[in-house]
Amino acid sequence: MLFAQRFTSIAVSRRYASTVADLYKGLINGDRVCLARSITLVESTHKEKQQHAKELLGQVLQGLKQRQQQQPRKPISFRIGLSGSPGAGKSTFIDIFGRYLLKQGHKLAVLTVDPSSSTTGGSILGDKTRMLELSREPNAYIRTSPTSGTLGGVTRTTNDAIVLCEAAGYDVILVETVGVGQSEFAVVDMVDMFCVLIPPGSGDELQGMKKGIMEVVDLVIITKADGDLLPEVRRLQSDWSSALRLMRRRSRHWSPKVLAVSSRKSTGIDKAYEQMFAFENAMVESGEFMKIRSNQLQKWMWNNVKDRILDQFLADEEIQRLIQSYEQRVVRGLITPFVAADAILNIFGKAKVDKSA
Binding site residues, a second copy, CB under 8 A: 54, 57-58, 61-62, 64-65, 68, 156, 159-160, 163, 204-205, 207-212, 214-215, 238-240, 242-243, 245-249, 294, 297-301, 304-306, 308-310, 312-313, 323, 326-327, 330-341, 344-345, 352-353, 356-357
Q: Say how far apart CA 283 and CA 141 lie, in whole Å.
A: 26
- 20: number of Cβ within 10 Å: 20
Q: What is the dihedral of CA 174, 284, 194, 76, to 10 degrees?
A: 20
Residue 303 DSSP one-character state: H
Q: Which is nearer to a second copy, 39 or 96 (CB)?
A: 39
- Least gap, CB of 246 to a second copy (angstroms): 5
- Least gap, CB of 102 to a second copy (angstroms): 28
Alpha helix positions (H), 29-150: 32-43, 47-70, 90-103, 116-120, 132-135
Q: Which is nearer to a second copy, 18 or 294 (CB)?
A: 294
- Least gap, CB of 284 to a second copy (angstroms): 17
Residue 221 near residue 259 (C-beta atoms within 8 A): yes
Residue 17 identity (one-letter amino acid) = A
- Least gap, CB of 94 to a second copy (angstroms): 24
Those residues whose C-beta lies under 8 Å from the C-beta of residue 51, and which sit 6 or more positions away, are 9, 12, 13
- Least gap, CB of 58 to a second copy (angstroms): 7
Q: Which is nearer to a second copy, 37 or 210 (CB)?
A: 210
- Least gap, CB of 353 to a second copy (angstroms): 7
Q: Which is nearer to a second copy, 242 or 267 (CB)?
A: 242
Q: Which is nearer to a second copy, 3 or 338 (CB)?
A: 338
Q: Which is nearer to a second copy, 159 or 262 (CB)?
A: 159
- Least gap, CB of 187 to a second copy (angstroms): 15
- Least gap, CB of 259 to a second copy (angstroms): 16
- Least gap, CB of 203 to a second copy (angstroms): 12
Q: Which is nearer to a second copy, 274 or 302 (CB)?
A: 302
Q: Which is nearer to a second copy, 101 or 259 (CB)?
A: 259
Strand 193-198 relative to strand 219-222, pairing? parallel
- 220: number of Cβ within 10 Å: 23
Measured in whole angstroms, how far is the alpha carbon of residue 351 from the centre of its chain? Answer: 38
- 253: number of Cβ within 10 Å: 16
Those residues whose C-beta lies under 8 Å from the C-beta of residue 171, and which sit 6 or more positions away, are 76, 77, 78, 106, 107
Q: Say how far apart CA 234 and CA 45 lie, in whole Å.
A: 48
Q: What is the dihedral of CA 289, 89, 116, 206, to 10 degrees?
A: 100
Which neighbouring-strand residues pair with 143?
Answer: 111
What are the Cα distances from residue 300, in Å, to 62, 167, 293, 294? Answer: 19, 20, 11, 10
Q: Which is nearer to a second copy, 48 or 239 (CB)?
A: 239
